[in-house]
Every structure is written in C-alpha cells, then in structure tokens.
C-alpha cells in the first residue's frame, strides 16, 4: 500500500467525529492492506512502531522536528517556530512548506523501515543523524504524507480510533462481518501485540487466531477485578471463594525462559531494569519456563514494613537502581500463575492454579506467595479482611474457585474490597483528562481553573464526561499540568470524546488521575451513562493523585462501573 493512500485515509478519519463514519473509513482502509503490511498499519493506527514492551521509541522532540523540516524544505527554523506558536501543529507546517506537486511512491513498508532506522539511531551525534534521516524522508514525501509523518513522529497523529475499534474494523475488512472481533480480542489479550494479531489474521485466517496461546516473553493483558461494597454482597455473588490479599504496590507480570527474565508493568512496559534483585531471584526458580502475576512493593529490611505505592513507584524514576535496591529492596508477592514449562494454565480453574503456585513459591525475603483463605462465611471473611488491612495492606480480592485467568477483562471472577469501601465513594475513581477550563482570580497565573474528566465506555470505545475537578493539586502541580496538557492540546473536541460541556481547551485523552467524591449523582450536563438526557456525575470531586503513569486512558473506571456504584451507594450510609 502506498503511504500516500494511507495518509488519505488518515485525513478522512480526521475530518469526521461520527463513529459510524470512522468505522466505515477504517474498515475500507484495512480491506486494502496486504498481509505483509497490515501489522505496520495497525501499529501506526496505535501511534507506535511496536508495543511498549519492545522499548522501541522514536525519541523526536519538537525542536528536532523543526530542524528537520527546515533542512528538508529550506525554511528558517525561526519562521517554523513562529508558525508553530500560531497554529500549534508542525504537521500542517510541513505540509504547507512542502512544494512537491506529485504523490510519492513510498510504500507503508518504506516509511516504516525508515522510522525504525530513526528509532534505532543512538549514541554520539545521534541528534544530527536523526535530523538528516527525517529530512530525507520528508524530501521524498508529498505534502499530505509529510503532514502525517511529522504528526506520527511527534506522537500527535490523533485519529480517534482505539484498539476495540481497530479490532472490529479488522473483522469487517477481512470477513465482511464484525462478529470475529471477540476472537481477535482474545488473541490480543494473550500477546498484547495487535499488529502481530492482525498479521496472523490476514495470513492464516480465523484458524490462525484460534490457535493463539500464552507464550513466554509475550506479556498477557492483566486480569482485573470488579468491586462490591461488602462481604455479604461478595459471598452472595461468588459463593464459596478464595479471599486473597490486595497489595498497594505496582503490578509485575514476570516471565522466565531459562536464564532470561522479563518483568512487565500493568501497562505492559518492560520494567526489568528497575528490579535487578527480582530478576536474580526468579532465575533461581526450578521452573524452566514460567509466567506469573504479582505485586511488587518496597520494604524496610529492619522492620519488614511494606512501603506504600508512592515510595515503590519511585523505582521507575531513579537512575542509580543498584544503590536504590540496597536502600529500598523490593519484595514480590505472587498471586497467580499462567504458564509452567509447557503447561498452559490460563484456562484452568483458579483453585488448580493456586495449588501449582503454592508448590512453586514458598516464603522468602524477595519472592513470596500471597496469603489466602477459602470461605463462604462472612464472619471469617471479615476477620481475614481486618487482619489484612491492620497489617497495612489495601484490602482483599475475592476469587471464584472455578474461574480462568481472564486476560484483559474486568469481571466478577475477581472482586476487590478495599478498606475505603466501608463508605463506597471513599474509594478513588480513575478518570481521564479531556480538557481544561482557564483559571480565574488566583488561579489565573496557573492557566488552569478546573479539569474536565471522563470515564471509559467499553461498548462505544469512547470517553464520557463525569466531572469538573478543580481541587486537590498543589500550585506546582497546576503549573506542571498546564505544560503537559498544552502538549496534548487539540483544536476541536477529540473524536473519542462524548461531551455536552465545552472546556476552554480540549486535550487528547491521555492522562489519568484518581479522584475522590462525596457521592455519584444524576446530572443533565454529563454524558456518563446518559439516558433520556440524564447522566451521572461526581459530587464534590477532588484529585488525590497527580498523573497515574501506570494506567492508560482505557484503564479508567468504566461507565458500567459508575452505574453499578451509583446503585450500590444507596445501600451504604455515607
């Protein structure tokens, strides 16, 4: 496929905010892509060269792009900077400066290959080398292509299509029917690589997708838990169940293949380098090949006290990891296992997986298994819960004994109960920032008075508004937020946002914040769960975290969860 043709479809996607039109455009585009290039096209739609666990990044900043555009088209950097301040889009500036009259003959593979070459350029003199590579690619491009090349390289393609929509469009493009999306999603959940799923689908058809299984070094999308307000509701829902500890650390999915060890975050980034002591301990496991799910926490060696998430997450911000690991060692608590040697465990009942886990993992300072009880007695549940939270943990997760490991899914196979659920809305709600309102009075200097935030609608693959959040941030955080959000600023409401309110500045849905509220109320001005003109909103919301770097926009609470929480709060005295 010519990159010019793909750029034309990008332009069509950009020109509409109607979901059905976008789906039709995307399906038509994907129907014209070959098996050799479908993976590359899917990655581009996802605004990446490869999934995050490959650690492949272009590393191109605005200044570098400006210099490359200047070199390619002969305009001064000063002129480009002036125009950029006016319109805020280097892609459109490149398009305007490009005087090529004909469409290029660049293929998607040509462009992708050059982009991979740019990403692989490092070391001394790499900045200049990257500028040269970018400028040569721009010189070979038509105006339309240069627009989308620059946007892609800067991470600002912003086509408004999510993974769920891509999978549905793949099904329609290949089979002229949307119904195979579920099978594509299952394969994606097992490998977290939608480009590879698309390649297999186009080469091997439906049977190739059905053959997907768990593989070492291909991270599985993590299973997630639903929530209920109390022990009685959980036992009523699950019956006799396992009650597991819930830790306030960061999710760590561990893969071992011989001496090779990889650790992946909740977002499936490769975080192996942040935890050398864990890799060393995993290598000593008797299993040749293993995949297990766990929570990583830092702890005090003298008192064996576990530190909270805020301390643990600093591992990702430190450079002297070896020294940090001595001062703040990590401890891994294993709570599930998905593969052992050649045995696929993901579809086996939880109770069987737990027996295997207990056989593999004992108790030591670096890797321990979580503690569980199995019960259908609310009093026994309550006693274990109190013991768990009194030891400083976050709460518990109840698990159906016969449930599989539900990769990538949030369902009632697992149900979490945190100490904050004693009052339903004392728990945090994860929201995505959709825009901001400019500040007034004292906040005028920050430039932000309140954020418009939303939650994810799984059915529609869009974000629905739920609140305006104006408190909970420090002065410094407001200033930092302004800079971060202005980098994501867009000129119109993003295609994946459903909103009645119009903030002063729209931003691409990218950043997640945790919010607390007094209660969920019904509201005519928010679109979360809206029916007959009435949706749901958060009453007196306030931010309780800055940016949740461990979560993607689609990891926010969902519309369905908000509606369930609204119903549940009627039974809780707040």
Catalytic residues: 246
The answer for residues whose C-beta is within 8 angstroms of residue 14's C-beta and 6 or more apart is 158, 159, 160
The Cα–Cα gap between 480 and 483 comes to 5
Q: Are 483 and 447 in contact (CB under 8 A)?
A: no
Instruction: Tell me how far apart the alpha carbons of residues 450 and 478 are, in angstroms, rounded to a whole number.
Output: 10
Helix (H), strand (E) at residue 438: none
Helix or strand or coil: residue 514? strand
Cβ–Cβ < 8 Å for 415, 397: yes
Residue 423 is encoded by which pair of tokens?
């009052």
Q: How far apart are the C-alpha atoms of 121 and 77, rounded to whole Å?
A: 23
Assign 412 to helix, strand or coil.
strand
Distance CA 336, CA 314 (A): 25
Cβ pair 360, 210 in contact under 8 A: no
- 129 alpha-carbon distance from chain centroid: 31
Three-state DSSP class for 557?
Answer: coil
A 10 A CB-CB count for 183 gives: 17
Cβ atoms 428, 372 nearer than 8 A: no
Cβ contact 322:374 at 8 Å: no
CB 151 within 8 A of CB 158: yes
DSSP code string of 180-233:
THHHHHHHHHHH--HHHHHHHHHHHHHHHHHT----TTSPPPPPEEEE-SSHHH
From CA 277, how far away is CA 272, in angstroms rounded? 10
- The C-alpha atoms of residue 178 and residue 169 are separated, in whole angstroms, by 7
CA distance 337 to 355: 10
**Tokens matching residue 322:** 């070896």
Alpha-carbon distance 466 to 448, whole Å?
Answer: 18
Separation CA 438–CA 166 (nearest Å): 34
SS3 340: strand
Beta-strand relationship, 512-516 and 542-543 = antiparallel
């Amino acid at each position: 496929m010519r990159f010019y043709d793909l750029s034309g479809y990008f332009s069509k996607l950009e020109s509409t905010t109607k979901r059905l039109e976008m789906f039709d455009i995307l399906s038509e585009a994907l129907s014209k892509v070959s098996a050799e290039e479908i993976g590359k096209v899917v990655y581009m739609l996802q605004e990446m060269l490869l999934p995050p666990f490959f650690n492949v990044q272009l590393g191109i900043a605005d200044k570098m792009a400006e210099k490359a555009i200047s070199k390619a088209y002969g305009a001064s950097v000063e002129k480009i900077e002036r125009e950029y301040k006016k319109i805020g889009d280097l892609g459109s500036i490149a398009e305007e400066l490009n005087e090529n009259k004909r469409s290029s003959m660049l293929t998607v593979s040509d462009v992708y290959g050059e982009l991979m070459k740019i990403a692989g350029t490092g070391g001394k003199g790499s900045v200049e080398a990257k500028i040269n590579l970018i400028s040569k690619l721009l010189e070979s491009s038509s105006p339309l292509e240069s627009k989308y090349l620059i946007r892609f390289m800067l991470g600002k393609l912003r086509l408004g299509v999510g993974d769920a929509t891509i999978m549905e469009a793949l099904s329609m493009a290949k089979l002229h029917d949307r119904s195979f999306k579920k099978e594509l999603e299952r394969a994606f959940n097992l490998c977290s690589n939608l480009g590879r799923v698309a390649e297999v689908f186009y080469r091997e058809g439906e049977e190739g997708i059905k053959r997907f299984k768990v593989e070492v070094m291909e991270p599985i999308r993590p299973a997630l838990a639903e929530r209920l307000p109390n022990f009685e509701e959980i036992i009523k829902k699950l019956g006799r169940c396992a009650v597991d500890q819930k830790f306030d650390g960061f999710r760590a999915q561990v893969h071992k293949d011989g001496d090779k060890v990889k650790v992946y975050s909740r977002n499936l980034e490769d975080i192996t380098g942040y935890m050398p002591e864990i890799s060393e301990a995993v290598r000593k496991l008797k299993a040749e090949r293993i995949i297990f799910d766990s929570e990583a926490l830092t702890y005090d060696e003298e008192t064996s006290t576990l530190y909270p998430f805020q301390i643990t997450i600093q591992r990702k911000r430190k450079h002297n990891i070896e020294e940090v690991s001595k001062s703040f060692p990590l401890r891994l608590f294993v709570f599930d296992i998905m593969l052992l040697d050649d045995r696929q465990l993901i579809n086996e009942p939880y109770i069987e997986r737990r027996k295997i886990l207990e056989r593999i993992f004992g108790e030591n300072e670096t890797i321990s298994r979580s503690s569980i009880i199995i019960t259908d007695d609310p009093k026994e549940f309550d006693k274990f819960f109190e013991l768990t939270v009194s030891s400083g943990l976050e709460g518990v997760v109840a698990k159906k004994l016969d449930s599989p490991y539900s990769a990538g899914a949030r369902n009632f196979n697992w149900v979490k109960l945190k100490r904050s659920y004693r009052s339903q809305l004392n728990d945090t709600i994860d929201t995505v920032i959709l825009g901001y309102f400019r500040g007034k009075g004292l906040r005028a200097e920050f430039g932000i008075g309140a954020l418009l935030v939303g939650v994810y609608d799984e059915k529609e693959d869009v974000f629905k508004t739920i609140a305006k959040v104006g408190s909970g941030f420090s002065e410094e955080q407001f200033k930092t937020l302004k800079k971060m959000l202005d980098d994501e600023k867009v000129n119109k409401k993003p295609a994946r946002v459903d909103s009645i309110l119009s903030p002063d500045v729209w931003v691409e849905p990218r950043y997640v914040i945790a919010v607390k509220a007094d209660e969920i109320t019904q509201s005519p001005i928010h679109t979360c769960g809206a029916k007959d003109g009435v949706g749901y909103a958060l009453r007196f919301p306030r931010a309780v975290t800055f940016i949740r770097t461990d979560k993607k926009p689609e990891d926010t609470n969902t519309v369905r969860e908000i509606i369930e929480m609204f119903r549940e709060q009627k039974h809780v005295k707040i």
